[in-house]
Chains A and B, each alone.
Chain A
């Protein structure tokens, strides 16, 4: 017996919706079967909390008196450059931006203690942030410089706008070389002494809806502690990869572009992150509700860590040089046990995505829905599906 999103929303309004997290549903389906579970449960909530570099925020900071045209000039927030190539006082700051005088990797490995992700965290935490601008004067915007404290509450619009979040599956990184390497997947010890992974596994949004049957453009989500939206498929969306019999991608696949009102978000779910020797980023909390429209969707959300596989990739040679090939395939259950076997060698694992906080996000979203504070949105358009032919291409360099 199929349900519609409108019917589920009616139950949410009446406080009668049955909501479980993607972790809790696994046992329910095991005990009751997917058919009965689909009839009894209305919504399953997912969650993920991991470093997501293609994240950023835009602001309108308001007009100073006399007016200044930041567009075309240079702007920094706590010394981290923001992009100002818009109208006079609209800015965008990206998660990986670094202050001009940050030492970066001059003394290797660099610490990268502060950057765009931290600026976003500080703003969301309500801290004062120093806004500095240098530009040229015009008849209508005569001022050439600005140096002031600002805080999020005093800005006009402030939106988190992330062009790629919630990667559907991700690589497990190892280092086959003889020296330590410092990567966006963390510090990788030589000769495969550790394997670092980054997935919320059975709680991960797109692993619970592998063919994007319910998650689409316009889906209302948990983003950074507030309500947000899926605005599009994300950059590098690559749905056509090889999949398991259940339809789970075996390598990184779908992605989401998301946005939401930064003023309503919380620093608990938006954290600046520093990767030694690599750079800075923003760790983002995303949670997506999956309406249980039919039994097939229930089967998808019942996915458990033992069924999800991730590719083990060498980050010393294969990754930097775009060499295809994976060393092994391991399950998320194995990764979470603390040890995997790759080419006959036992390797200690470490995570980058917080399962603890992913679970917390799924629980918060469950509470919002159960208490009637969060209604599901009907997608306006689907994401490009596996059979669409939509694919992620490498850069073709051409001689200049």
Chain B
């Protein structure tokens, strides 16, 4: 099944609509919400991973575009520079998905970019410039 991580920017007039529900119900997409901020009278922002069969993924993205939701690819990517890392483990506490994690037997830090949601909470915690953010 094709998978895609995207950022959805919702204009304020759309936030009262059950858009995520439609993506699931009408287009059969698996919607994994990685990060979301929706508030009255503001642009909403959601980072989602969309997973769908056949043309459903494309159809779902077209539906969003027609509604006026701006769809962008997830452009930020967290880079773990292993050669700079000293394995102090300071970065693991704020990581919400355990993308940055510790192998407890050896106390070695590892990074799984597949499950990283680029929330950036780790950036301020690394004293050794071993975590960087890159923009596509």
Contact = CB atoms under 8 A, between A and B. Distances in A.
Given A337-B104, A338-B102, A196 B93 contact: yes
Contact of B93 (A109, A194, A271, A275): A194
B2 interface: no
Contacts of A273: 127-128
Contacts of B127: 51, 186, 273-275, 281, 283, 352
Nearest to B125: A187
Of the listed residues B88, B92, B102, the one surrounded by the most CB atoms of chain A closer than 10 A to its CB is B88
B88 A351 contact: yes
**Interface residues on chain A, size class:** 20 to 34
B125 A351 contact: no
A348 interface: yes
Contacts of B87: 354-357
Interface in A302-350: 336-338, 348-350
A356 B124 contact: no
Given A49-B86, A338-B104, A355-B87, A350 B93 contact: yes
A17 B81 CA distance: 39
Interface in A27-76: 49-51
Contacts of B106: 356
A251 B106 CA distance: 26
A352 B88 contact: yes
A197 to B, nearest CB: 9
B90 A274 contact: no
A353 interface: yes
Contacts of B93: 189, 193-194, 196, 348-350
B108 interface: yes
Given A338-B102, A350-B91, A356-B107, A113 B86 contact: no
Interface of A is mostly: strand
A353 B107 CA distance: 11
Contacts of B12: none
B125 A276 contact: yes
A109 B90 contact: no
Contacts of B88: 50, 351-354
Interface of B is mostly: loop
A182 interface: yes
B89 interface: yes
**Interface residues on chain B, size class:** 10 to 19
Contacts of A348: 92-93
B94 A187 contact: yes
Contacts of B102: 338
B129 interface: yes
Contact of A186 (B86, B90, B107): B90
Interface string A189-220: 10001101000000000000000000000000
B47 to A, nearest CB: 21
B29 to A, nearest CB: 32
B94 A189 contact: yes
B129 A113 contact: yes
A49 B90 CA distance: 14
A187 B131 CA distance: 15
B124 A350 contact: no
B80 to A, nearest CB: 15
B85 to A, nearest CB: 9
Interface string B94-111: 100000001010111000
B69 to A, nearest CB: 31
Contact of B124 (A49, A109, A193, A194): A109
A352 B129 contact: no
A349 B94 CA distance: 10
Contacts of A337: 104
B107 A355 contact: yes
Contacts of A182: 124
Contact of B86 (A281, A336, A349, A356): A356
A356 B94 contact: no
Interface of B: 86-94, 102, 104, 106-108, 124-125, 127-129
Interface of A: 49-51, 109, 113, 182, 186-187, 189, 193-194, 196, 271, 273-277, 281, 283, 336-338, 348-357
30 contacts: A49-B86, A50-B88, A51-B127, A182-B124, A186-B90, A187-B125, A189-B93, A189-B94, A194-B94, A196-B90, A196-B93, A271-B86, A281-B127, A283-B127, A283-B128, A337-B104, A348-B92, A350-B89, A350-B90, A350-B93, A351-B88, A351-B90, A351-B107, A352-B88, A352-B90, A352-B127, A354-B86, A356-B106, A356-B107, A357-B86
Given A274-B129, A350-B92, A354-B88, 6 more contacts: A271-B86, A277-B124, A350-B89, A350-B90, A350-B125, A355-B87
